[in-house]
């Protein structure tokens, strides 16, 4: 794929869903156009082939049939092209946000809840983007509170560990188990990203 095709795909085709939407829209349009064409052309074809009709009338029908052919098919081709272009542009307003949703949700699944979805003004799914952003904000707040409690518990565990240097061995072992559990929680929380880097915060849909 050359550079122009890559730029085109990044700019307008961001998801295979767009190809499916394009195919479906064009297929529906072509089927509708063929039905309309059949209602227009078939009566004329029948009239041209009807030998019981005077030759002059059949000649007029044949001329009208040829005239319709010259006007109908170019118009149909032009309409399909315009519909295809419109379908790509419209589907981009859906596929672009979906592509961004997947990026952000995959990051959240890996522990990065710092990102925020920012869509273009004319994109669809704006309400859905707001809902996901609210979810991410709630996760950031909750994770932040958990991390704050973890730090406080770690500080208290350090004090307790120092204060029990000469305590009963069983009690001392329980304190050490508490420390290990806190270290396990800290290890899990350390993989979370709660604040976005400047570049990530400015990222928008491609």
Q: How confident is the model at residue 7 (pLDDT cuts 50, 70, 90)?
A: low
**pLDDT tens string 107-143:** 888 888 888 888 888 888 888 999 999 988 888 888 8
Output DSSP code: residue 112.
B
Predicted TM-score (pTM) of this structure:
0.59
Could you write out the DSSP letters of every residue in 151-187? HHHHHHHHHHHHHTTTS-HHHHHHHHHHHHHHHHHHH
pLDDT computed for residue 133 by the predictor: 92
**pLDDT tens string 17-64:** 778 878 888 888 888 888 988 888 888 888 888 888 888 888 888 888
CA dist., res. 63 & res. 39, Å (int) = 17
**pLDDT tens string 145-162:** 877 877 877 777 777 777
Q: How confident is the model at residue 204 (pLDDT cuts 50, 70, 90)?
A: very low
pLDDT beyond 60 at 1? no
Output the CA–CA distances (angstroms, integers) from residue 147 to 41, 127, 142, in the order listed.
74, 30, 9
SS3 assignment, position 193: strand
Q: Could you tell me what percent of the chain has a pLDDT over 70?
A: 83
Q: Which residue has the higher pLDDT, 61 or 14?
A: 61
pLDDT computed for residue 131 by the predictor: 92
pLDDT computed for residue 200 by the predictor: 42
């Amino acid at each position: 794929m050359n550079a122009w095709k890559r730029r085109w795909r990044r700019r307008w085709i961001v998801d295979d869903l767009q190809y499916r939407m394009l195919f479906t829209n064009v297929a529906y349009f072509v089927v509708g156009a063929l039905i309309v064409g059949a209602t227009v052309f078939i009566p004329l074809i029948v009239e041209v082939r009807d030998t019981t009709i005077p030759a002059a009338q059949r000649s007029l029908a044949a001329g009208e049939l040829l005239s319709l052919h010259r006007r109908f098919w170019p118009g149909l081709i032009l309409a399909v092209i315009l519909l295809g272009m419109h379908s790509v542009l419209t589907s981009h307003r859906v596929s672009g946000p979906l592509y961004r949703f997947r990026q952000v949700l995959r990051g959240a699944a890996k522990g990065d809840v710092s990102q925020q979805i920012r869509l273009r003004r004319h994109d669809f799914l704006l309400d859905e983007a707001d809902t996901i952003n609210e979810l991410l904000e709630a996760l950031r707040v909750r994770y932040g509170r958990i991390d704050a409690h973890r730090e406080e518990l770690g500080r208290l565990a350090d004090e307790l560990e120092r204060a029990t240097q000469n305590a009963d061995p069983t009690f001392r072992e329980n304190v050490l188990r508490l420390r290990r559990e806190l270290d396990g929680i800290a290890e899990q929380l350390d993989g979370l990203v709660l604040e976005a880097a400047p570049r990530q915060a400015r990222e928008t849909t491609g």
